[in-house]
Amino acid sequence: MGTAHVYRRDHVNTDEIIPARYLNTDDQADLAKHCLEDLDPDFVNKVKPGDAIVAGEDFGCGSSREHAVWAIRGAGIQTVIAKSFARIFYRNAINCGFYIIESSDAVERISDGDELEIDYKAGLIRNKTTGRNIRFSPLPDFARQIVQDGGLLNHILKKSKHSLKKES
Amino acid sequence: MSMTITEKILARAAGLKKVVAGQLIDAQLDVVLFIDVTGPAAIKMLAEKGIDKVFDREKIVVTPDHFQPAKDIQSAELHKRLDDWAKRHKIKHYYKIGRAGVCHALLPEQGHIRPGEVIVGPDSHTCTYGAFAAFSTGIGSTDLAAAIATGKLWFRVPASMKFVLNGSLPAGVYSKDVILAVIARIGTDGALYKAMEFVGPALGDMSMEARMTMTNMAIEAGAKNGIIGFDKVTKQYLDEHLKDKKEYTIFESDRDAEYTAVEEFDCSKLEPMVALPHLPSNAVPIGECAGKKMDQAYIGSCTNGRIEDLRIAAKILKGRQVAIRTIVVPATPTIWKQAKDEGLFDIFYDAGCVISAPTCGACLGGFMGVLAEGEKCVSTTNRNFVGRMGHPKSEVYLASPATAAASAVEGKLTDPRRFM
């Protein structure tokens, strides 16, 4: 279970999620300290492990920096629920084994501070605060497979049966 | 059945006769770009998984660019990780400082981009190379790690949107103004997950440099790739720059290929455009924003830091003085030397500009021109999100090199046609 942090706007971008001034590191814990800093400076103080970010259309637009996913994950966020995702952010999340939920319906039915319980397999969000259940379409099969394997590299290693581990 | 140019390139890369939009494919990669901010993370990930392999040391192109020369100790550590790795794997095309430059200007200039090929890079503006009738797109660090190790990546074949650019550009209006007008019309997610295919007579007047400015900003409309077909302008550039002269494959869209939308533009009616804070889609004609006071002008980046851009800016700055801080950043060492040899540096110096080493630098708020609270910058770059070039309360106004130069002279947003 976790609390929803709702940013009811579109185009929450990678510069807001993790400003480039912090890209001189790829350490998840360091990045997490600045997660959403330019959008909501108080976010890092209120976020708890298991919480969710909820936002509008085109979440994660802008840069290809995977640091955006790492910062969010490092801050303890279990998922991002958005009306739609920018392409590279979507891909990076899957590749990192980080579950995201694309659902306009869910975004409409969640308010800031709502307590959520999420069943990814069933495609169900239980909004404990409102008492309502929200259904969502789970990730496509290929993407779910990558997430379940723990990200793209694990997925590839599983398929390649360790042939990649040889020195080139 | 018919296909678009993007579908044809991806079909070839997947070893298939035919692909359709929405189809998942495994594509062979022809060129993998590797840079300083997102690349070292890929090295770390591979090491953590016990993978120490590169798929082809001749197909990976390495250049530090975002924070080069190192801006602080932590970036120096990233560069060190990059340097160790590139040397250990004997990466053939490793551009070290002195030859390193802003990647999307460097790779075409150094002849790494060939029509019909698939190029990926860990920077969202990797879509730039579509100007050469190639498929290219930005990826993250995990994708980069997979690409380095296997030479392959999964893709969903994008549907295509067609942008027909009619007429010819009036004096003072450039390809940057065209792409800003395109994004203003469709929005920053107007081409989400899609290919933006540019066609039409206005392209005939554009150099490869000018075309790259357009495909560079496809990502600012959410696109997976931007693409322009092959013509004599492409051929001439490639004849002058290609490293590997072996024959390349030229693909073109079938006449009856499918597009989810067709957008027409009369370029002869366009005016210089400025994208107001804080989205690239907030572009308006200069007439609607002229007079707004600026604190800095920035002329550079993978969008507009090429020699043609510097010539356009120099023409306006010649014999004049800038009224605000003006930073000129030639995108690569070759461009830097060309600008110096052509006397552009004298013009910039005399006008009161500062000339920097090639770097992505302040475009992304890294260094070499970061903005303070409340400051406004007219910039030839591609993105004007909150905090993009510095303080979260600073503002970025995207424009062409001509508009940036004219605005530098006046200290406020200015129509460049006044100086022509």
Whether the CB of A143 is below 8 Å from some CB of chain B: the reply is no
The answer to whether the beta carbons of residues A164 and A156 sit under 8 Å apart is: yes
Residue type at position B279: L
Q: Which of A37, A84, A165 is nearest residue B50 as measured by Cβ atoms?
A: A165
Residue type at position B323: A
pLDDT above 90 (res B229): yes
Q: Name which of A13, A40, A41, A35 is nearest A22 in CA terms.
A: A35
Closest residue of chain B to A87, computed from CA coordinates: B193
Contacts of B386 in chain A (CB under 8 A): 13, 15-16, 38-39
The answer to whether the beta carbons of residues B30 and B119 sit under 8 Å apart is: yes
State ipTM. 0.94
User: Which CATH number belongs to the domain containing residue B349 in this structure?
Assistant: 3.30.499.10
Looking up tokens 């976010």 gives: A43
- β strands within B142-260, DSSP E: 152-156, 160-166, 195-199, 225-228
**Residues B160, B93: one domain?**
yes
Backbone angles phi, psi at B325, to 5 degrees: -55, 125
How many distinct helices (H) and strands (E) make up chain B? 13, 18
- β strands within B188-268, DSSP E: 195-199, 225-228, 261-266
* Residue A168 belongs to some domain of the structure: no
Contacts of A19 in chain B (CB under 8 A): 365, 387, 392
User: Which CATH number belongs to the domain containing residue A80 in this structure?
Assistant: 3.20.19.10
Whether the CB of A53 is below 8 Å from some CB of chain B: the reply is no
Whether the CB of A24 is below 8 Å from some CB of chain B: the reply is yes
Q: Is there a contact between A86 and B189 if contact means CB atoms under 8 Å apart?
A: yes
* Residue A47 belongs to some domain of the structure: yes
**Residues B204, B300: one domain?**
no
* Residue A154 belongs to some domain of the structure: no
Give the tens place of pLDDT for each residue, B294-319.
999 999 999 999 999 999 999 999 99
Residue type at position B235: K
**Residues B174, B305: one domain?**
no
> What is the largest distance, in Å, between two alpha-carbon atoms of chain B?
61
**Residues B362, B216: one domain?**
no
Contacts of A25 in chain B (CB under 8 A): 74
**Residues B219, B196: one domain?**
yes
For A102, the 3-state DSSP assignment is strand
Residue B186 CB partners (closer than 8 Å, separation 6+) = B161, B221, B263, B281
| Structural domain ending residue among the three candidates B248, B265, B282 | B265
Domain housing B258: 5-265
The pLDDT of residue A163: 65
The answer to whether the beta carbons of residues A84 and B192 sit under 8 Å apart is: yes
Give the tens place of pLDDT for each residue, B100-140.
999 999 999 999 999 999 999 999 999 999 999 999 999 99
DSSP B29-71: -SEEEE-TTTHHHHHHHHHHTT----S-TTSEEE---TTTTT-
Give the tens place of pLDDT for each residue, A134-145.
999 988 999 999
Backbone angles phi, psi at A100, to 5 degrees: -125, 155
How many distinct helices (H) and strands (E) make up chain A? 8, 7
Give the tens place of pLDDT for each residue, B262-290.
999 999 999 999 999 999 999 999 999 99
pLDDT, average across residues B164-180: 98
The answer to whether the beta carbons of residues B127 and A136 sit under 8 Å apart is: no
| Structural domain ending residue among the three candidates B232, B265, B298 | B265
Residue B111 CB partners (closer than 8 Å, separation 6+) = B238, B241, B242, B243, B244
pLDDT above 60 (res B91): yes
Contacts of A58 in chain B (CB under 8 A): 188-189, 192, 222
Q: Is there a contact between A24 and B50 if contact means CB atoms under 8 Å apart?
A: no
Closest residue of chain A to B73, computed from CA coordinates: A24
Q: Which of B41, B364, B388 is nearest residue A66 as measured by Cβ atoms?
A: B41
With residue A118 as reference, give the H or E element that holds it. strand A115-119
Whether the CB of B87 is below 8 Å from some CB of chain A: the reply is no
The pLDDT of residue A160: 81
Q: Is there a contact between A157 and B75 if contact means CB atoms under 8 Å apart?
A: no
The answer to whether the beta carbons of residues B361 and B380 sit under 8 Å apart is: no
The pLDDT of residue A168: 41
* Residue A55 belongs to some domain of the structure: yes
Whether the CB of A127 is below 8 Å from some CB of chain B: the reply is no
Whether the CB of A44 is below 8 Å from some CB of chain B: the reply is no
**Residues B307, B250: one domain?**
no
Distance, in Å, from the CA atom of B379 to the CA atom of B389, rounded to the nearest integer, reads: 10
Mutant choice from B23, B80, B87, B142 vs A, greatest count of A C-beta within 10 A: B142
| CA within 13 Å, CB half, B318 | 12
Mutant choice from A146, A153, A158 vs B, greatest count of B C-beta within 10 A: A153
**Residues B76, B33: one domain?**
yes
The pLDDT of residue B256: 97
Surface of A (70-109) touching B: CB under 8 A: 84, 86-88, 91-92, 95-96
Mutant choice from B128, B148, B186, B364 vs A, greatest count of A C-beta within 10 A: B364
**Residues B129, B56: one domain?**
yes
Residue B80 CB partners (closer than 8 Å, separation 6+) = none
For B221, the 3-state DSSP assignment is helix
The answer to whether the beta carbons of residues B159 and B194 sit under 8 Å apart is: yes
Cα separation values, A7 from A13, A155, A165, B57, Å? 12, 33, 43, 44
* Residue A7 belongs to some domain of the structure: yes
Q: Is there a contact between A63 and B49 if contact means CB atoms under 8 Å apart?
A: no
Whether the CB of A168 is below 8 Å from some CB of chain B: the reply is yes
Cα A99–A104–A110 angle (5° rounding)?
A: 80
Q: Name which of B141, B124, B155 is nearest B49 in CA terms.
A: B141
Q: Is there a contact between A63 and B123 if contact means CB atoms under 8 Å apart?
A: yes
Contacts of B192 in chain A (CB under 8 A): 58, 84, 86-87
| Structural domain ending residue among the three candidates B265, B297, B324 | B265
Closest residue of chain A to B57, computed from CA coordinates: A168
The pLDDT of residue B289: 98
Computed over every residue of chain B, the mean pLDDT equals 97
Please identify every stretch of chain A with a pLDDT value under 50, giving residue numbers as ranges: 167-168
What six digits make up the tokens of B281? 């889609």
**Residues B259, B306: one domain?**
no
How many domains are contained in chain B? 2
Q: Is there a contact between B193 and A87 if contact means CB atoms under 8 Å apart?
A: yes
Torsion of CA B368, B371, B375, B377, to 10 degrees: 50
How many domains are contained in chain A? 1
Residue type at position B152: K
Torsion of CA B45, B48, B49, B54, to 10 degrees: 60
The pLDDT of residue B243: 82
Residue B327 CB partners (closer than 8 Å, separation 6+) = B296, B297, B298, B299, B300, B353, B354, B356, B362, B368, B369
Distance, in Å, from the CA atom of A70 to the CA atom of B237, rounded to the nearest integer, reads: 40
Q: Name which of A10, A25, A4, A72 is nearest A44 in CA terms.
A: A72
DSSP B337-381: HHHHHTTHHHHHHHHT-EEPPS--GGGGTSSSSPBPTT-EEEESS
Give the tens place of pLDDT for each residue, B350-373.
999 999 999 999 999 999 999 999
**Residues B253, B321: one domain?**
no
Domain housing A45: 2-139
Whether the CB of B44 is below 8 Å from some CB of chain A: the reply is yes
